[in-house]
Chains A and B, each alone.
Chain A
Amino acid sequence: RKEVEQDPGPFNVPEGATVAFNCTYSNSASQSFFWYRQDCRKEPKLLMSVYSSGNEDGRFTAQLNRASQYISLLIRDSKLSDSATYLCVVNGKGNTGKLIFGQGTTLQVKP
């Protein structure tokens, strides 16, 4: 089993749609969770951290379910510029600072 699993997609949605991505992780001791965005041929960039109580940043909402070891990202009112790959990221075992990346979910927002 992969340490971090995501549905690779692609998700093809029209502008204005709401889309949700899910991610599961295997290490129950993980403490830090993130969503990164990666545009084609670019480096990953932090989209948002994921907190236990859930958090929102504009059109983006992240949720964490520790009991199910599950993370989600909800994007409302999709824009063309949201087209990218979204990477679910979890800190690795131990306090080493290592990050473990899911394979990413590709989103294509169409006009």
Chain B
Amino acid sequence: SAVISQKPSRDICQRGTSLTIQCQVDSQVTMMFWYRQQPGQSLTLIATANQGSEATYESGFVIDKFPISRPNLTFSTLTVSNLSPEDSSIYLCSAKPRHANTEAFFGQGTRLTVV
């Protein structure tokens, strides 16, 4: 298993600002992902964070709005840019310690409220 530390756990941000969320894994992992979970909904994949290269975004998500970094195997950041109230959600970091078809582990989530 992997222990994932995600911070901040929650934040309240003004419209038009940005929030950067950090995710630290306690062991080297092959894959890291960022999900969004809107109120009352399930998890939607935003992107796969690739080490040392640009993230791979899912349909409906773009780099300008959700820039992602992954400078090494154990750390990634997600920035939610130019915030609007529609961005209020929970954002979750996920990691897979082994090959592609294993289970994923999750950080504790970041609860973002945009006012």
**Chain A at the B interface: SS class:** loop
The answer, yes or no, to whether A97 is at the interface (CB within 8 Å) is yes
Cross-interface CB contact of B48 among A34, A46, A95, A98, cutoff 8 Å: A98
Q: Which 7 A-B pairs have the closest CB atoms?
A: A43-B106, A97-B100, A32-B101, A103-B42, A101-B43, A97-B31, A101-B42
- The interface size of chain A toward B, counting residues with CB under 8 Å, comes to 23
Question: In the complex, what distance in Å separates the CA atom of A89 from the CA atom of B76?
Answer: 23
The answer, yes or no, to whether A31 is at the interface (CB within 8 Å) is yes
Chain A contacts to B: CB under 8 angstroms: 31-32, 34, 41-46, 49, 87, 91-92, 95-104
Interface size class of B (residues with CB under 8 A): 20 to 34
User: Contacts of A101 on B, CB cut-off 8 Å?
Assistant: 35, 42-44
Question: In the complex, what distance in Å separates the CA atom of A95 from the CA atom of B31?
Answer: 12
User: Contacts of A46 on B, CB cut-off 8 Å?
Assistant: 103-105
Question: In the complex, what distance in Å separates the CA atom of A65 from the CA atom of B101?
Answer: 18
Given the known inter-chain contacts A34-B103, A44-B106, please indicate yes or no for A98 contacting B33, CB distance below 8 A. Answer: yes
User: Contacts of B33 on A, CB cut-off 8 Å?
Assistant: 97-99
Cross-interface CB contact of A43 among B42, B99, B102, B107, cutoff 8 Å: B107
